[in-house]
């Protein structure tokens, strides 16, 4: 395809086209029966697009769709339910996707307790997550180590993602949605001068924003944890837009 030509394009399904050189940013939000995280993915995508990422919000996606795209992502953002263990309190280790009909899961690894739900495991990647600059898992217990499914944050980091954020406790809305909105804003322009903050600083500052807005109820946001690149260099920031380092 050529720069000076126009093209007719037929689509079988709706989709979002982004410029060729814009790093991918996939943002997932959900309308569950008991929780809505809409429009946090749109907010994230808008903030990312301002700083030259190809921000794409997705509503009620399957885990398979996200799992197939994540290795091409620079930014992966999930805001939805985590995994609750019904029997033994070993919550965490995964993300619960909902397409409006069926539930599917992305989890860290399969240790034991086979799930009845279709599950895709981060552990099955080799180094395919090297392109991921930032993964943000806004979900209950997304940073907790589960005896059944492992730890999503440390597993994602071990597979090549530079920066990974999760939460070790149960989250409540609206606090978690607010943390999300503030985090993306702070990555772009969160310093007192309106300049970008590092990813760890943006995460911590957004947590403080929640505390101020909802004092004394942080809704579990205070359990924020992260694995960060943190070498004082460019990969500590989202700006300039780019993929992760190998």
Partner 1 sequence: MERDFLFIPSEDDEIVPLDGYVIIVEEEYDISLELDPNGIPPTKNLTGVNLIGFSDVNPATARDTLYCVHEDWSEVMGYDAETQQYETSILN
Which parts of this chain interact with partner 1 (CB under 8 A)? 1-22, 24, 45, 49-50, 52-56, 72
- Tell me the sheet residues that pair with 150: 146
C-beta closer to partner 1: residue 39 or 200:
39
Min CB(60)–partner 1 separation in Å: 16
C-beta closer to partner 1: residue 17 or 212:
17
C-beta closer to partner 1: residue 6 or 233:
6
C-beta closer to partner 1: residue 9 or 192:
9
Q: H or E element: which one contains 224?
A: strand 224-227
**120-132 residues labelled b (16+ CB within 10 A) or e (exposed):** bbbeebeeebbbb
Min CB(15)–partner 1 separation in Å: 4
Cα dihedral 67→70→76→78 (10° resolution): 0
Min CB(29)–partner 1 separation in Å: 16
C-beta closer to partner 1: residue 4 or 116:
4
Instruction: Tokens for 78, please give them.
Output: 């999930």
Min CB(13)–partner 1 separation in Å: 4
Min CB(198)–partner 1 separation in Å: 22
How many CB atoms are located within 10 Å of the residue 175 CB? 20
Residues 6 or more apart whose CB falls under 8 angstroms from that of 206 comprise 179, 180, 182, 183, 186, 190
C-beta closer to partner 1: residue 13 or 126:
13
Burial of 49: CB neighbours in 10 Å, binned 0-12, 13-18, 19+: middle
Min CB(32)–partner 1 separation in Å: 24
Taking CA atoms, 91 is separated from 86, 88, 146, 173, 219, in Å, by 8, 8, 6, 19, 17
């Amino acid at each position: 395809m050529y720069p000076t030509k126009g093209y007719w394009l037929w689509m079988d399904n709706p989709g979002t086209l982004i410029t060729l050189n814009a790093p991918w940013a996939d943002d997932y939000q959900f309308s569950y029966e008991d929780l809505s995280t809409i429009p946090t993915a749109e907010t994230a995508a808008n903030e990312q697009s301002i700083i030259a990422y190809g921000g794409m919000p997705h509503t009620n996606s399957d885990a398979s769709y996200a799992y197939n795209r994540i290795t091409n992502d620079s930014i992966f953002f999930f805001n939805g339910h985590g995994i609750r263990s019904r029997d033994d309190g070993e919550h965490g280790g995964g993300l619960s996707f909902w397409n409006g009909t069926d539930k599917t899961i992305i989890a860290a690894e399969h240790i034991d307790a086979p799930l009845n739900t279709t599950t895709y495991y981060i552990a099955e990647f080799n180094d395919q997550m090297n392109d991921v600059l930032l993964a943000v898992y806004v979900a209950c217990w997304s940073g907790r180590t589960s005896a059944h499914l492992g730890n999503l944050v440390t597993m994602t980091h071990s597979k090549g993602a530079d920066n990974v954020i999760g939460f070790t406790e149960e989250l409540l809305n609206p606090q978690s949605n607010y943390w999300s909105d503030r985090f993306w804003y702070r990555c772009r322009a969160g310093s007192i001068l309106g300049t970008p903050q590092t990813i760890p600083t943006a995460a911590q500052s957004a947590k403080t924003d929640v505390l101020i807005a909802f004092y004394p109820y942080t809704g579990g946001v205070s359990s924020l944890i992260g694995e960060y690149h943190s070498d004082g260099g460019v990969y500590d920031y989202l700006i300039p837009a780019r993929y992760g380092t190998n």
